[in-house]
Amino acid sequence: MKPRHFLSLLDLTAAELKRLMKRAMELKSMQQRGKRHTPLTGKIMAMIFEKSSTRTRISFEAGMAQLGGTSLFLSPRDTHLDRGEPVEDTARVMSRMVDIIVIRANSHAMVERFAAHSHVPVINALTDLNHPCQLLADIQTYLEKRGDISGKKVAWIGDGNNVCHSWISASHQFKFRLDIATPEGYEPKAEWVSACRKHVTLHHDPKLAARDSDIIVTDTWASMGQEHEKAERVGAFSGFMVDNNLMKLANRDALFMHCLPAYRGAEVAAEVIDGPQSVVWDEAENRLHAQKALLEFLLTRPAK
């Protein structure tokens, strides 16, 4: 049987994603009540991380432990991947030994190649192209704070990057409107936009995107791997900081979201991220609960 992977939000159906969100909230409540739930006892999760991480690594490791399983964290130094052992061979070998593999990679193509040769589910923990696990937590957070996101308006302000691409996929799966404002030359990839065209509008003026929105979301202007472009990007993104003036254009009960790590005074003003509309700490916490629901879904589905 072919394993089910989670490389993009489009790998699950809309109905499966909806059920996953409900399950994430149930698992959160169980955890908060101190109810032990260990369906993954004896299961092993390997984590290959080519890039830094605070939230993703900790939430996957803590989540797997809470579900009764164990995890192995592998930095590039720890395997032969860094010394040229083919990704395909690594996938074949690892997937004979562990039950699920979580990968944070520089290149999305590497994760696709790995998944194509893995006998067990592979989860994308961020690539240069997308970050689907982040969106599970973000949608859960909106559901908890405001209810159903379908029909709402989300404004993405800033770089058309990996997290933006996953918001685009989410707009399709959860049926909300997504207005994206980027500087010229920093738009999301055209193929991601055209796959979800019905829900997405592109702008170059942050105010146009922000007006009447229910969520304003942003991310760093220089993602991991783009550090050398930082100075150039600070210039290009001038006028794209999410501050209280921009938040005022959104609906009165709009939320501010950011996947973190955040840079106060660059993509977001301290008054916003540390202000009353910000839900960034809930988003971060929900990484744990949403990914537990994902692990449970991928590892306890009945065989077909």
The answer to whether the CB of 222 falls within 8 A of the CB of 200 is no
By the rule CB under 6 A, 120 interacts with ligand CP: no
Q: How many CB atoms lie within 10 A of CB 68?
A: 14
Closest distance to ligand CP from the beta carbon of 126 (Å): 6
The residue with its CB nearest to ligand NVA is 223
Pattern 127-166, ligand NVA, x by CB under 6 A: ----------------------------------xxx---
Interacting positions 201-220 with ligand NVA (CB under 6 A)? 219-220
The answer to whether the CB of 161 falls within 8 A of the CB of 223 is yes
By the rule CB under 6 A, 291 interacts with ligand NVA: no
Pattern 228-267, ligand NVA, x by CB under 6 A: -------------------------------x--------
Computed over its alpha carbons, how large is the radius of gyration of the chain?
19
Find which of ligand NVA, ligand CP, none residue 161 binds, CB within 5 to 8 Å per kind.
ligand NVA
What 3-state class would DSSP assign to 278?
Answer: strand
The answer to whether the CB of 284 falls within 8 A of the CB of 55 is yes
Report, as residue numbers or ranges, the catalytic residues.
104, 131, 134, 219, 259, 287
CA distances from 72 to 20, 60, 78 (A): 25, 11, 11
Binding ligand CP (rule: CB under 6 A), the pick from 95, 134, 213, 278 is 134
By the rule CB under 6 A, 181 interacts with ligand NVA: no
By the rule CB under 6 A, 182 interacts with ligand CP: no
Quote the strand ranges of the chain, DSSP E: 44-49, 70-74, 100-104, 122-124, 153-157, 177-181, 200-203, 215-218, 255-258
Closest distance to ligand CP from the beta carbon of 185 (Å): 24
Main-chain phi, psi angles of 95, to 5 degrees: -75, -5
Binding residues for ligand NVA (CB under 6 A): 126, 161-163, 219-220, 223-224, 259
